[in-house]
Structure 1
Amino acid sequence: MFASTTCARAGGLAAGCVADAVLGDPRRGHPVAVFGRGAAALERLTYADSRAAGALHTGVLLAGLGVVGLAADRAGARRGPIARAVVTACATFVALGGTSLGRTGALMADHLSAGNLDAARRLLPSLCGRDPAVLDAAGLTRAAVESVAENTSDAQVAPLWWAAAGGVPAVLAYRGVNTLDAMIGNRSVRYARFGWAAARFDDIANYLPARATAMLVAVCAPLVGGSPAAALCAWRRDAARHPSPNAGVVEAAFAGALGVRLGGPTQYAHQLEIRPTLGEGPPPQVHDLVRAVRLSRAVQVVAAVVACGFSAVGRNGRRACPRC
C-alpha cells in the first residue's frame, strides 16, 4: 500500500510538471482564479478591520481546500494507483506556475530590449504588484528580475515541496495561502490587520522552500555564468535585511548568482517602500533579466527532479516502487 501510494505520488508529480511545462497556466477558467473569486465573495461577508476576522476568513478557505484535496486524494486511492496519480497530477498542475513565469519574464525582456516601455508597463502586473506608471526602463528591469526570483520559489519550488511532502491536500492548501497572501496580505490600510493571518501563513509555508530555492540557485548559478559562492555569500550577508523572511533569501541568492544589485526604493500601489540593497554588483540590465529567466528555469527543472525523486523513496530511504 505504501509503495503504491508513493509511486502514484511520484508519477503524478512528474505528470503535473510535464503538463505545466507544455501548457503553462490556462488563459481562462484557471482554478486558482476561481478560488480567488470565491475568496473575494467570502470577504464581502467576513471582512472586518481586525486580525480575528482575517484569521477566520483565511482559516475557512484553507480548511475548505484541505477537505477538497483530501476527498479527491481518497477518491483516487479507492480507484487505484493510476487514478491517484491522475489526481496528484491535476493538483500539481493547478498549483505550479513556473512555465508562465518564465514566459512572462522572457516577454518582459523582449519589450525592454525593443524599448517598448508601454508594453512593459502593461505586462508588469502579471509579475508583481508594483505601480508600473512610475517606473522607467531600469525600474521595470529591476522589478522583473526581483519578481522572477521570488516567484521561482512561490510558483514552482514551494508547490513541488508541498506536493512531495504532503500530497494533494498540502499542495492545494499551499496554493490557496499563496493566493490569499497576494490578495489580502499586503500592508494597505484595508488589509493591515485583516490580511495579517494570510501573510503569516504564507511566511510559514514558504520558509523552508525559499531556502531550498536559494540552495538550488547557488547550484545552478554556473549555468548563467554566475558564482555559487557569490550566491551563498549574498544570501548570508543581505537576506536578513529584507522585510520578507523568504523573498529576501531568494532575491539575495539571485543577486549574488547574477552579479547584480537588487533592492532600493520600491513603489507599490499602496505605499513607497525603501528596501535594502541585495548583492554588490551594478543594477540589473535587460541581459541580466534574460539570465534571471534562464536561472529560474534551471532551478525549476532541478526542483522537479528532486521532488519526484523524493516522492519515489520510501520512509526508510529505499525506493518505494522498484518498477517506477
Structure 2
Amino acid sequence: MPGCGSAARGGSAALAAERVFAYGATLGLLADRLFGDPRRGHPVAAFGRAAGAVERALWRDHRGWGALHTALCAGGAAGAAALAAATVRRAPAASVALTAAATWSVVGGTSLGREARAVGAALAAGDLEGARQRLPHLCGRDPYSLDEAQIARAVVESVAENTSDAVVGALVWGAVAGAPGLVGFRAVNTLDAMVGHKSERYRRFGWASARLDDVVGWPGARLTAALAVAAGADRRGALRAVRQDAHRHPSPNAGPVEASFAGALGVRLGGTLAYGGRVEHRPVLNATGRPVGVPDIERAVRLARRVNVLALAACVTGRLGYGAVRAARTTRRRG
C-alpha cells in the first residue's frame, strides 16, 4: 500500500527533529555539567562584542534605534543558527552535534553554581571583602554597600533568577525551535543585560530589548517556578509564596522565580537593594520566611540543579510528545 508507506515515512521524518533536540539538549546539558562554560572563545562573549559594536554604530536616544539594534543582533544570531541547522538538516549526527554545541554554549548552570559557591565559601570563611569582589560575577549590585546577610540574599536571588534565564528558558525555546530557539533566546537575554536596564543612556534605546526579554522569558520563568515548587523541600510554602507575592515583583518573570525559591527554601527575599548608584525598594517575597543565611546559598544551588534536570526532562518529553501527535495526524491524513 503506497499510501501507508508514504505516511510511515512522513511520520518518521516528523519525529526526526524531536529526536535531534532530545539527544542534543541532553548532551549539551551534560557537557555544561561536566565542563562548565567553554573556556576560550565563548560564543556568548563573541555575541556581546558584536552587539556592542552594533550599538556604537546605531546608538541614538530613541526607541526606534534601540528596536533596530535588537532586531539586527537577536535576529542575526537566530538567523545564523537557522542557516547552520538547515545546512546539516540531512545529517542526523551533525544536527545532534549542532544542537548539543548550541545548548552547551547558551546554558550556564554549572558556572552559576560555581560562582555562587565561591561567594558562599568566602562568606563562610569570614572573608567579606573576598565575597564582595566575587559578587559582580553573579549580579550587577553594588557589592561594597552590602553586608554578609545582604550578599547571601543577593546570591540566592541571582541563583533563582538565572536558573530561568541561563538554563530553563533556553531549554524551552530549544524545544520550540531547536538550535535557532536556543541561540535566539540567549541573544535576547544578553541584549537585555547589556542595554535593558533603566539608566539614562538606555532608558529609551534599551526599551525594545527589555520588553522582548520579558516576552521570551515568560514561559521559562513559569516552568522554573513550577519545578521549584515540585522540587523544593517546602512545596506548600513555595506555592503559597508564588500565589501571594510573585505579582508584587517589578519584573514579570523574576517575580514567580524568586518567590518560588523563597518559599521552597523557607527564606525571605526582596527588600532594599542598590544598582549602579541607585537604590530600589522591592517588595518582600515570602515575608514569613527567615532571613537568608550563608548555608542557604548551597541549598539554592542544589535546588537549581534539580530544577535544571526536571526542565530538561519536561522539555524533551514535551517536544517528543508534540512530534508523536503530529506524526499520528499526518498518518491519519495520508491514510
Question: Does the 8 Å contact 1:188/1:271 carry over to 2?
Answer: no
Cα distance between partner residues in 2 of 1:140 and 1:319: 51
Question: Does the 8 Å contact 2:18/2:323 carry over to 1?
Answer: no
Which one of the candidate residues 19, 34, 40 is aligned to 2:31? 19
Question: Does the 8 Å contact 1:188/1:270 carry over to 2?
Answer: no
Question: Does the 8 Å contact 1:158/1:206 carry over to 2?
Answer: yes
Q: CA deviation at 1:67?
A: 1.2
Q: Which runs of 5+ in 2 are unaligned?
A: 1-12, 329-335
Q: CA deviation at 1:165?
A: 1.2
Cα distance between partner residues in 2 of 1:317 and 1:262: 42
Q: State whether structure 2 residue 159 is matched by structure 1 residue 151.
A: no
Report the count of equivalent residues: 315
Q: Aligned with 1:275: secondary structure? A: strand
Q: CA deviation at 1:319?
A: 9.1
What TM-score do you get using the length of structure 2 for normalisation? 0.91
Q: CA deviation at 1:142?
A: 0.7
Q: CA deviation at 1:266?
A: 0.8
**Who is 1:228 aligned against?**
235
**Who is 1:91 aligned against?**
102
Q: How does 1:60-79 map to 2 (within 5 A)?
A: 60-78=72-90
**Who is 1:251 aligned against?**
258
Q: CA deviation at 1:35?
A: 0.4
Cα distance between partner residues in 1 of 2:106 and 2:319: 17
**Who is 1:123 aligned against?**
134
Q: Aligned with 2:203: secondary structure? A: helix
The C-alpha deviation readout for 1:14-65, integer Å capped at 9, x for no partner, is 1111111111112331110000011111111110111111101001111101
**Who is 1:44 aligned against?**
56
Amino acid at match of 1:132: P
**Who is 1:264 aligned against?**
271
Q: CA deviation at 1:308?
A: 2.4
Rg (Cα) greater in structure: 2
Cα distance between partner residues in 2 of 1:122 and 1:287: 19
**Who is 1:293 aligned against?**
301
Amino acid at match of 2:298: V
Q: State whether structure 2 residue 62 is matched by structure 1 residue 54.
A: no
**Who is 2:177 aligned against?**
166
Q: CA deviation at 1:312?
A: 3.0
Q: CA deviation at 1:314?
A: 4.4
Cα distance between partner residues in 1 of 2:212 and 2:171: 17
Which one of the candidate residues 312, 318, 334 is aligned to 1:310? 318
The C-alpha deviation readout for 1:114-154, integer Å capped at 9, x for no partner, is 11111111111111110111111111111001000100111
Cα distance between partner residues in 1 of 2:170 and 2:44: 13
Q: CA deviation at 1:112?
A: 0.8
Q: Aligned with 1:276: secondary structure? A: strand
Q: CA deviation at 1:251?
A: 0.3
Question: Does the 8 Å contact 2:60/2:205 carry over to 1?
Answer: yes
The C-alpha deviation readout for 1:48-102, integer Å capped at 9, x for no partner, is 1111111010011111012101111011113x11111111111111111111111
**Who is 2:333 aligned against?**
none
Question: Does the 8 Å contact 1:20/1:99 carry over to 2?
Answer: yes
Q: Percent identity?
A: 49
Q: State whether structure 2 residue 147 is matched by structure 1 residue 139.
A: no
Amino acid at match of 1:265: T
Cα distance between partner residues in 2 of 1:6 and 1:145: 34
Q: Which moved more, 1:298-307 or 1:128-137?
A: 298-307
Q: Aligned with 1:313: secondary structure? A: helix
Q: CA deviation at 1:287?
A: 1.1
Question: Does the 8 Å contact 2:15/2:323 carry over to 1?
Answer: no
Q: CA deviation at 1:217?
A: 0.3
Cα distance between partner residues in 1 of 2:105 and 2:52: 19
Q: CA deviation at 1:170?
A: 1.2
Question: Does the 8 Å contact 1:267/1:273 carry over to 2?
Answer: yes
Cα distance between partner residues in 2 of 1:319 and 1:153: 31
Q: CA deviation at 1:10?
A: 1.1
Question: Does the 8 Å contact 1:231/1:255 carry over to 2?
Answer: yes
Root mean square deviation of aligned Cα: 1.4
Q: State whether structure 2 residue 204 is matched by structure 1 residue 204.
A: no
Q: CA deviation at 1:254?
A: 0.6
Q: Aligned with 2:250: secondary structure? A: coil
Amino acid at match of 1:192: R
Q: Aligned with 1:230: secondary structure? A: helix
Q: Aligned with 2:126: secondary structure? A: coil
Cα distance between partner residues in 1 of 2:44 and 2:240: 36
Q: Which moved more, 1:18-27 or 1:310-319?
A: 310-319
